[in-house]
Amino acid sequence: MQYALQVSNVREQFYTRRGTYKALNGVDLLLLEQGEVFGLAGESGCGKTTLGLTIIGLLPRNAAITGGEVILDGRNLVETLREYALANSSNFKPSRNEKILKKLNKELTGIRGKRISMVFQDPMTSLNPVLRVGYQVAETMVVHAPKSLAQRRLSRLRVTRSDLESIIKILKASGDEKSIISYVEEKKLQGIEEQILNVWRRKDLGEAKKEKLILSLHVEEINGIDRRILESIERTGTAPQWTRMIPFFRQSVKRLLFMEGYRRSAELLSILEVPYAEKVVMSYPHELSGGMRQRVVIAIALANDPKIIILDEPTSALDVTVQAQILDLVRHLKEKLNISFIFISHDLSVLSEVCDRIGIMYAGRIVEVAPTDEIFNNPLHPYTKLLIAAVPTLEGQEVKGIGGTVPDMRQPPTGCMFHPRCPYVMETCSKNEPQLLEAGENHQVACFLYPEVHKS
């Protein structure tokens, strides 16, 4: 089994004027499998978004990681922050922690946005209102993948109209994409096949328009200096040294990369089923609907083919029909691109549609993890049972609220943090902290109700 991410025993707290807020209290995500959609559910304030931001390393200056690991590609992403917090637990200074965060941000430049991305809750606040959509999608590729953009541009210089006509004939005759890849390899035209197939797969275009777009790939000319710049970027990933000394050439590099970035942006949006993508990339965020903006944010997250995408309440601001489209999109991306998702939501009905497994979170801890069907058909933790009972159903069953209030994490309850609200509370619950242990095949629970799982 190939694993994409490991999160174990993560503890995090925030130093505030009103006290120390214990946000994460030993979170175990166990192992996130490659190509898996892992759902994270719980009430507002339970730490879902904080966990997502911790995994990707976007933390405020008053945040202290006091334990645990976030392992991606064999590297602990929170090690630097944890070492400082543990060494200065009695004399924590946000100003000193801010310097460490800046250092961490530099270290994560090659990881964040490239290996792991995040889609935030409100797409309108995630997008810059004064920049065109295409620019914002292209920007992440220009920063992280200039070599890929240069290869795409140069591949169109190497293809001939005759080659493109032959490819169209193959597509019209059989529609066999493997034949196209074989033809490209035979002609040594690598880099053009993805662009051709992305046009051919589009659902918003008729066959004549698709053919016209494919044939247009070979007509783009380029001058000698621009070609030298792109060939250098294709070989080394960077522009020639002389382009950095003269402002005109620095602008030429930026222009060349962003032109290709706009084209790739349109391809990404068309993959995400945005109609007339070439027009959308020239639009501003306020000109788009909520669903379209959410697709743009997802396109930014997808731009560099990341290994993991964290979705933070991606459907909460959308109406039910657009919600369904976004969920279909997540399913499609999982199957086609084998990306792992962490899907954060307070809505269990949304998670049930797309997730392979669901983790239930309460007061900064995961209290139950199981496959989606198992969570709904055989919930074990009292909190899970109450959450499911609070979901409205078409059968008109009575919706039951959860008694009590979310605990104040500056002074959290001792033992099991859910015990003040639990209808099954026992004496041991207020004194001891239950551990997340196996309760069945792929099913873990942290509760003293199951003595065979956890002996008090």
Q: Map the chain to HEC letters.
A: CCEEEEEEEEEEEEEECCEEEEEEEEECCEEEECCCEEEEECCCCCCHHHHHHHHHCCCCCCEEEEEEEEEECCEECCHHHHHHHHHCCCCCCHHHHHHHHHHHHHHCCCCECCCEEEECCCHHHHCCCCCCHHHHHHHHHHHHCHHHHHHHHHHHHHCCHHHHHHHHHHHHHCCCHHHHHHHHHHHCCCCCHHHHHHHHCCCCCCHHHHHHHHHHHHCCCCCHHHHHHHHHHHHHCCCCHHHHCCHHHHHHHHHHHHHHHHHHHHHHHHHCCCCCHHHHCCCCHHHCCHHHHHHHHHHHHHCCCCCEEEEECCCCCCCHHHHHHHHHHHHHHHHHHCCEEEEECCCHHHHHHHCCEEEEEECCEEEEEEEHHHHHHCCCCHHHHHHHHCCCCCCCCCCCCCCCCCCCCCCCCCCCCCCCCCCCCCHHHHCCCCCCEEEECCEEECCCCCCCCCCC
List the alpha helices (DSSP H) in 272-347: 277-280, 290-302, 320-337
Give the three-class secondary structure for 361.
Answer: strand
pLDDT digits over 161-199, tens only?
A: 888 888 888 888 877 777 888 888 888 777 888 888 888
Instruction: Name the pLDDT band for 79 (thresholds 50, 70, 90).
Output: confident
pLDDT at position 456: 42
pLDDT at position 453: 59
Is 254:197 a contact under the CB 8 Å cutoff? no
Q: Is residue 299 part of a domain?
A: no
Q: Is residue 294 part of a domain?
A: no
Per-residue pLDDT, averaged over 428-453, amounts to 86
- Domain total of the chain: 2
336 and 411 share a domain? yes
Per-residue pLDDT, averaged over 102-124, amounts to 84
120 and 154 share a domain? no
Identify the top-confidence range among 44-48, 280-284, 325-329, 438-442. 280-284
pLDDT at position 342: 92
Q: What's this model's pTM, rounded to 2 decimal places?
A: 0.88
270 and 348 share a domain? no
85 and 216 share a domain? no
207 and 228 share a domain? yes
Q: Is residue 284 part of a domain?
A: no
Instruction: Name the pLDDT band for 365 (thresholds 50, 70, 90).
Output: very high
Residues with Cβ < 8 Å from 373, sequence gap 6 or more?
A: none
355 and 449 share a domain? yes
4 and 95 share a domain? yes
Q: Is residue 285 part of a domain?
A: no
Per-residue pLDDT, averaged over 413-425, amounts to 91
pLDDT at position 397: 66
What is the share, in percent, of the chain residues with pLDDT greater than 70?
95
Domain boundary among the residues 279, 297, 330 is at 279
Q: How far is Cα 296 from Cα 275, in angstroms, rounded to an integer?
A: 12
pLDDT at position 77: 82
Per-residue pLDDT, averaged over 42-70, amounts to 88
Q: Is residue 295 part of a domain?
A: no
111 and 157 share a domain? no
Per-residue pLDDT, averaged over 406-414, amounts to 89
Of 31 and 356, more confident: 356
Q: Is residue 109 part of a domain?
A: yes
121 and 141 share a domain? no
CA 146 centroid distance within chain = 21
pLDDT at position 134: 95
pLDDT at position 213: 87
330 and 453 share a domain? yes
94 and 57 share a domain? yes
Instruction: Indicate the average pLDDT of the chain.
Output: 86
Residue range(s) defining the domain that contains residue 194: 133-279
What is the share, in percent, of the chain residues with pLDDT greater than 90?
27
Q: Is residue 350 part of a domain?
A: yes
pLDDT of 454 over the 60 cut: no
Q: Is residue 316 part of a domain?
A: yes
**Residue 325's CATH number:** 3.40.50.300
145 and 66 share a domain? no
pLDDT digits over 3-14, tens only?
A: 778 888 899 999
Per-residue pLDDT, averaged over 114-139, amounts to 90
- How is residue 242 written in tokens? 């002389």
